[in-house]
Chain A
């Protein structure tokens, strides 16, 4: 390597560091909170005096409410290959997620917006982690509709996808305490024939 190359590489890195520092100062630094995700069907967390479940009426505007009762034990009945399919450790199976959905938990779709628009779990709100950077007002609008102690189930495409974990990590920084990751993906939800909706005109939970 010629003698001018190394100083120039260092100049590139130094310039990048300088610009990055300016970016951090101007726009505020990022924060790295511990992603202590609450998953599975543990005992209830948060405020025990929450509103009871009000099942949505037929034809009524869809809006979930905070739930009172949670499953307190894992499902012990016959296993279904789809509903009880193995999921990454600490995440919800499709059955567990559906149970929480039936109980009125908040659902957040962390996939890309075009995927959300094409179809999502009914009542789910679109909240991709990048919104916290690019459109904080929109992220705030979703967060304003969910109490910090509400049970939130986040999902993406399933399997090893991390989009839901990224959004959960952001929500945790905003004080949300009951965050659960659906290990099964949206396609599994569709495959199971559970409730879905399309478009972005749906009422946020």
Chain B
């Protein structure tokens, strides 16, 4: 198989399904949180990352902003637009979630619900535990891959690529890992 053929195969078999799967998952999670922003705010408060009495406004800001970051990044990933940037955003969120989950697990005085998917549970129970840490760590693998390899040939990034000759590094998927 030629080099370009391999890249096409990679795009179809790996990048596209991982993009759509991960992006769809985040968009779904975001939808549930946006529909229950009050519950999500309570959940963030329950994580006791910041003092809710002093910094309650930060919790409110996070409750409104984080789900929309997930939604935008998720939709962009599905579309394959700004693939690397959206994958980076998802990667940062996943690392942040893992850190928050570990913080809660280590602090035995708090036991909040994860609210990772709003009021729904996926694989793990609602209560924060190692299951969520493992789940998010597993999700980091395809996310890291997408940060590295971007969206592939089937991404909208290919359609809107800069054809002016100016070498946009976001378009270097066909050079393997160089641009990624």
Contact = CB atoms under 8 A, between A and B. Distances in A.
A112 B32 CA distance: 14
A30 B85 contact: no
Interface residues of B, number: 46
B102 interface: no
A29 B35 contact: no
A2 B36 contact: no
Interface string B71-105: 11100100000101110110010000000000000
A198 to B, nearest CB: 21
B113 A34 contact: no
A160 to B, nearest CB: 4
A168 to B, nearest CB: 10
Contact of A23 (B34, B43, B89, B169): B34
B111 A88 contact: yes
A6 B170 CA distance: 12
Contacts, number: 128
- Majority secondary structure, A binding face: helix
Contacts of B52: 32, 34
Nearest to B169: A2
Contacts of A16: 65-69, 71-72
Chain A: number of interface residues, binned into ranges: 35 or more
Contact of B88 (A1, A15, A34, A163): A1
Contacts of B85: 4-6, 8-9, 11-12
B159 to A, nearest CB: 17
Interface in B141-164: none
A166 B113 contact: yes
A91 B45 CA distance: 19
A4 B39 contact: no
A199 B119 CA distance: 21
A32 B34 CA distance: 17
B38 A162 contact: no
B59 interface: yes
B179 interface: yes
Contact of B36 (A4, A17, A23, A133): A133
B41 interface: yes
B85 to A, nearest CB: 3
Interface of B: 34-39, 41-43, 45-46, 52-53, 56, 59-61, 63-69, 71-73, 76, 82, 84-86, 88-89, 92, 111-113, 118-119, 126-127, 168-170, 179
Interface of A: 1-6, 8-9, 11-13, 15-17, 19-21, 23-24, 29-32, 34-35, 88, 112, 128-130, 132-134, 159-163, 165-166, 169-170
26 contacts: A4-B85, A4-B169, A4-B170, A9-B85, A9-B92, A12-B85, A12-B89, A15-B68, A16-B67, A17-B65, A23-B64, A29-B64, A30-B37, A30-B60, A30-B64, A31-B38, A32-B59, A34-B53, A130-B119, A133-B38, A134-B36, A161-B113, A161-B127, A162-B112, A162-B113, A162-B127
